[in-house]
Structure 1
Amino acid sequence: MTTDSTYVPVVIVGGGQAGLSVSWYLGRAGVEHIVVESDTPVHAWSDKRWDNFTLVTPNWHCRLPGYPYAGPDPDGFMTRDEVVEWLAGWLATFEPPLRTHTTVTRLRRGDDGGFELTLESASGPETLVCDQVVIATGGYPLPVVPPYAGSLDPAVVQVHSEEYFNPEQLPEGGVLVVGSGQSGAQIAEDLHLAGRRVHLAVGSAPRVARFYRGRDCMTWLSDMGLYDTPARQYPGGKAAQEKTNHYVTGRDGGRDVDLRRFAAEGMRLYGTLVDGTDTRLRFAATLTAALDRADAVYNSICADIDRHIEREGIDAPPPSRYEPVWEPETDPTALDLAAEGITSIVWAIGYRPDYRWIEASAFDGGGRPMQTRGVTEVAGLNFVGLPWMHTWGSGRFLGIDRDARHIADTVTESLGGSQLRLAVNR
């Protein structure tokens, strides 16, 4: 044990909903622990979501330990501010041992086989040692911008999607949104509805119907067991797990995001952005194929629901298929920002992992944790809140409770106790 260090059996790094859910279970089991958070609890919901953000999953998906959604609209979609209020209500139900505004800058194996964590805060550096660590910092904390972003005209304002809040923050003129995953598609819609001239670089993200045959598609998929299927058994295997999430929106009660309709209304669509210099950008000729693939996934999911309805003998409205409302005449491959009056770019091309502060052989070549249900082969090193950690529901509100309980059980049993299962057996 390091001199002048503080010992605690378990340290949870990250005070978002996943880390705090593990804390909820450990607290009820009487396991001494601490949660270290670099900011304030669940701050990302208020600080890194745009003003018109809504959940894309129905409210009934929102389940945290001891706190399922109990509001008046289970099939609706909470706004950003409603999510923040709901989370505040949950936090008021318990008192986690939380250290805020404290950053873990280093995690390494201790001399006695446990772990040593170096902390930084306003009061200076500090060392914690522990037997078990739970990493709950999120799957991909670092926003991605392409390497050529610095070569573009400095007069063009560039923001990442986590920095976008509303159309008014951007200068007058056209806006290029790069990326058509959930954030990119919804931000493009937000700008489009505000009357901005929007250009959208479309990637490989698939899409899904919001409602189909009388119900929300995600409710159908839940009934079909898709959110509960273990990752190793999921159709399509690893390739399916690596795909970007389907774009759809919960805005205004929920609706499809149809990029073709946006184009018919004046939005300019392009394929994948390849590179750029000054004001000139180059795109791959992938737009037509990307739109066709997204629609094929949309119709395929609807067909899966059709088979489920038929198999279960469910009385539901008749089936349908999406038919394109717009087709590109060509696949554009170039764009001059100045000529088109584009004054800002919103990068919505995702995030990447950053576990450089963890000194342990628990990561693959891409820097992602090698884990099974959050448990690594490094004894005592665990993760929670990762996409696909156990199921498609992992990393979402729907799967957090189950994943957190499993990690809390694992940690407790590793410490030599069984009190967690006894205390919260349901």
Structure 2
Amino acid sequence: MSSKVYDYIIIGAAQAGLSMAYHLQKKDKNFLILDGGKEIGESWLNRWDSLQLFTTTEYNHLPGFKFKAPKGHYPSKVEVAQYFKDYVNHFSLPVRLNTLITSVGKKDGVFYLEHNTGTLHAAQVIVATGPFHTPYTPPCHRNIAESVVQMHSNYYKGLHQLQDGDALVVGAGDSGYQILDEISASGNRKVFFSGDTTVKSIPQQFLGKTIWWWFTKTGFLSFNKYSWMGKKIISSRQPVIGTDVKEILSRENVEAVGRTKNAVENEIIFESKKVKTIKNVVWATGYRPNFSWIEGLELDEDHYPKNYRGVSNIEGLYFIGLPWMYTRGSATLGGVSKDAAYLVERLLEAENEVLV
């Protein structure tokens, strides 16, 4: 084979991919990091303008290089992206940008990674593309009149994207409530909310400590998905962190209307009423995973790769940064490093088995 075969190729240059790169570099491994973006941190920069992390500086460190911000600071998306750039420069990590992988297959013990300009080869592949792939919007959005501005939260940047008139925010997760907060805070428009209004909210500070201090102290982030407590946490409704749900829903210009059922042109049909005045819709309705580009991969009932702590059904193919890959912190800046350290040891064990 004329093309170079890397020991490892990492797909994705955000927190998961960079954590794996750090540990591989420490082991003097030959590797390459690929990312489809035009710059490091692009996936973060594409999110809404006012986005801030729920976690303070001291809980956002990737391995070997601290997040340079004051203790107690909640970083913005721009600061996170800059941290990733600084991380890559500090360790001189080999990153190739503008390289979107379209398929991964394996033949004769070597992985073939097809991308927009060619093919790369690797003995082992680590997929670090994160949990957010394809923005999901309910089918009824197609029935809404073209005059209504619609966007998924993935594309929402700020109030400047909205036209005059009433707005609707759909989705009761962290993003949904944060965007509802921002749109309704101006007070110059009616904002309808479609989603669960019984969701619990947790303040960012409690008794003088951040909620993440309490999570760490109580071991909340360390329960693994196979434990009794881990299973209980996974099955329960996740709270909204740092956003006062009750206060937002009590605002005079906010009206909760229940589940969105359907739409006919300018009329949107909810559980509690029908509304014809909505001019803007933000769908904070989550994402669907997409791993169809990996040949032979087994998926679970939620369409995520079947794996044990990142080890997949395909020999030599690994994952990092998936939600609850092992613990609640597996997909977070501060938590992914533990998974990466564990996975690198498994990779080295697999190498040794081949040599034996």
User: 1:177-220: per-residue Cα shift (whole Å, max 9, x none)?
Assistant: 00021101001111112234211112375422332233222211
TM-score by length of structure 2 reads 0.91
* Higher alpha-carbon deviation: 240-249 or 96-105: 240-249
**1:85: which partner in 2?**
82
1:119 is matched by which residue type in structure 2? H
Give the length in aligned residue pairs.
350
**2:190: which partner in 1?**
197
Task: Give the distance between the partners of 2:256 and 2:247, measured in 1 at CA.
Answer: 9
Among 231, 234, 238, the residue aligned to 1:241? 234
Structure 2, unmatched stretches of 5+, are none
Quote how far apart the aligned CAs of 1:127 are.
2.1
Among 215, 222, 246, the residue aligned to 1:259? 246
Task: Give the distance between the partners of 2:88 and 2:238, measured in 1 at CA.
Answer: 28
Quote how far apart the aligned CAs of 1:411 are.
1.9
Percentage of matched positions with identical amino acids: 28
Matches within 5 A, 1:124-135: 124=117, 126-135=118-127
**2:202: which partner in 1?**
208
Quote how far apart the aligned CAs of 1:26 are.
0.9
* Higher alpha-carbon deviation: 262-271 or 224-233: 262-271
Quote how far apart the aligned CAs of 1:45 are.
1.2
User: 1:369-404: per-residue Cα shift (whole Å, max 9, x none)?
Assistant: 111111123211110111111110110112111112
SS of match in other structure, 1:406 = helix
Quote how far apart the aligned CAs of 1:261 are.
4.5
Query: More strand per residue: 1 or 2?
Result: 2
1:79 is matched by which residue type in structure 2? S
Query: Cα–Cα, structure 1 residues 119 and 81, in superposed 2: closer, same or farther, change >3 Å?
Result: closer
**2:109: which partner in 1?**
113
Alpha carbons 2:41, 2:80 under 8 Å: kept: no
Matches within 5 A, 1:16-415: 16-39=14-37, 40-47=39-46, 49-72=47-70, 74-110=71-107, 112-120=108-116, 124=117, 126-195=118-187, 196-203=189-196, 205-233=199-227, 235=229, 237=231, 240-241=233-234, 245-249=238-242, 256-284=243-271, 333-336=272-275, 338=276, 341-415=277-351
Task: Give the distance between the partners of 1:264 and 1:366, measured in 2 at CA.
Answer: 36
Task: Give the distance between the partners of 1:135 and 1:11, measured in 2 at CA.
Answer: 8
* Higher alpha-carbon deviation: 166-175 or 258-267: 258-267
1:398 is matched by which residue type in structure 2? G
SS of match in other structure, 2:120 = strand
TM-score by length of structure 1 reads 0.77
User: 1:313-354: per-residue Cα shift (whole Å, max 9, x none)?
Assistant: xxxxxxxxxxxxxxxxxxxx2232x3xx32110000100100
Alpha carbons 2:40, 2:84 under 8 Å: kept: no
Alpha carbons 2:297, 2:305 under 8 Å: kept: no
Task: Give the distance between the partners of 1:230 and 1:145, measured in 2 at CA.
Answer: 31
Quote how far apart the aligned CAs of 1:143 are.
0.5
Task: Give the distance between the partners of 1:244 and 1:355, measured in 2 at CA.
Answer: 26
RMSD: 2.1
Quote how far apart the aligned CAs of 1:283 are.
2.9
Larger Rg: 1 or 2?
A: 1
Alpha carbons 1:167, 1:194 under 8 Å: kept: no
* Higher alpha-carbon deviation: 8-17 or 190-199: 190-199
Task: Give the distance between the partners of 1:59 and 1:206, measured in 2 at CA.
Answer: 25
User: 1:5-29: per-residue Cα shift (whole Å, max 9, x none)?
Assistant: 4311211111112112111111121
Task: Give the distance between the partners of 1:32 and 1:66, measured in 2 at CA.
Answer: 19
Quote how far apart the aligned CAs of 1:52 are.
1.2
SS of match in other structure, 1:231 = coil
Alpha carbons 1:136, 1:383 under 8 Å: kept: yes
Quote how far apart the aligned CAs of 1:4 are.
5.4
User: 1:206-253: per-residue Cα shift (whole Å, max 9, x none)?
Assistant: 42233223322221121000111111115261x63265642133xxxx
Query: Cα–Cα, structure 1 residues 41 and 416, in superposed 2: closer, same or farther, change >3 Å?
Result: farther
User: 1:27-55: per-residue Cα shift (whole Å, max 9, x none)?
Assistant: 121111111111132211112x2111111
Alpha carbons 1:371, 1:377 under 8 Å: kept: yes
